Amino acid sequence: SQQGEEDPQALSIQEGENATMNCSYKTSINNLQWYRQNSGRGLVHLILIRSNEREKHSGRLRVTLDTSKKSSSLLITASRAADTASYFCATDYTGANSKLTFGKGITLSVRP
Amino acid sequence: DAMVIQNPRYQVTQFGKPVTLSCSQTLNHNVMYWYQQKSSQAPKLLFHYYDKDFNNEADTPDNFQSRRPNTSFCFLDIRSPGLGDAAMYLCATSRDPRTSGIKQFFGPGTRLTVL
């Protein structure tokens, strides 16, 4: 299965701290994306990193990609209570036929 | 604002009673997806349309069907819902992935309860 695996499965931090979440996958990819899902809502796209990129920033988000290790990390700096959500990595790969494969997700709780 | 809309947000049905969930988009995207998501799990792709071409996942039960009458609308039909079909159903869209990667835009979801 191509399904990604995030770790940790749950993370609880204090507001203002940084949160780091990791994702690993199994086969070669074209792109890797991170999505956020607030409780009971749809997913929201956060950031996409292509297989030929190593690092990408968007506001307080920093994503890295290591294709040799088949892994990615999402760093949220200066976390806020509003960052409390589930975070999913998703990959697409050659032959995926327009599909994404989502990991199991990480539940982030940011304590005020 | 361009968006993905799902109706209803909450749906209650009885065991075995057919139900239809709807999704519409104002993004004019080529691809529309239906996912099933159970509590604390990843979204599971049921099927997707690339324009009018229907792509079913191998492990999607026959109980689940879909229709896409035009670019804007896509429906999920559950012919005989079982208790195990209670879940959040998510609709998503994307542009032509050959030109723009597969960034997906999600609707808010429909929470299905089966009694």
Phi and psi of A2, rounded to 5°?
-85, -5
User: Which of B40, B102, B105 faces A100 most closely, judged by CB atoms?
Assistant: B102
| Average pLDDT score, chain B | 93
Are B41 and A3 within 8 A, CB to CB? Answer: no
* Amino acid A96: pLDDT: 59
Decide if B76 contacts A80 (C-beta within 8 A).
no
Residue with tokens 């979440």: A21
Phi and psi of B84, rounded to 5°?
-70, -10
* Amino acid A95: pLDDT: 61
| Three-class DSSP category at B98 | helix
- The residue-averaged pLDDT of B57-86 equals 96
The residue among A43, A47, A55 whose CA lies nearest residue A85 is A43
Q: Could you please report the per-residue DSSP string of A22-67?
A: EEE-SS--SEEEEEEE-TTS-EEEEEEEETT-SEEEETTEEEEEET
Q: Is the pLDDT of residue B61 over 90?
A: yes
Q: Is the pLDDT of residue A1 over 50?
A: no
> What is the Rg, in whole angstroms, of the alpha carbon atoms belonging to chain B?
13
In angstroms, the Cα distances linking A1 to A5, A26, A70, A101, B44 are: 11, 7, 14, 9, 13
Q: Residue B51's beta-bridge partner residues?
A: none
Q: Is A102 on the interface with B (CB under 8 A)?
A: yes
Tokens of B86: 């209670």
**Choice among A11-20, A59-68, A85-94, B28-37 with the minimum mean pLDDT:** A85-94
* Amino acid A2: pLDDT: 47
| Three-class DSSP category at A19 | strand
Phi and psi of B82, rounded to 5°?
-110, 170
- The residue-averaged pLDDT of B1-23 equals 93
- The residue-averaged pLDDT of B33-61 equals 94
For residue B97, give the amino acid letter: P
Q: What is the pLDDT of residues A100-110, one digit of tens each?
A: 889 989 999 99
- The residue-averaged pLDDT of B70-76 equals 97
- The residue-averaged pLDDT of A46-64 equals 96
Q: Is the pLDDT of residue B72 over 80?
A: yes
Are B109 and A104 within 8 A, CB to CB? Answer: no
The residue among A81, A82, A111 whose CA lies nearest residue A12 is A111
Q: Is A22 on the interface with B (CB under 8 A)?
A: no
Considering chain A, what percentage of its residues have pLDDT values greater than 90? 74
Are B101 and A30 within 8 A, CB to CB? Answer: yes
For residue B68, give the amino acid letter: R
CB neighbours (10 Å) of residue B39?
A: 7
* Amino acid A5: pLDDT: 73
Q: Please name the residue of chain B whose CA is at the shortest distance from the CA of residue A35.
A: B104
Cβ-count burial A10-49 (b if 16+ within 10 Å, e if not) = ebebeeeeebebbbebeeebbbbbbbbbeeebbbebbbbb
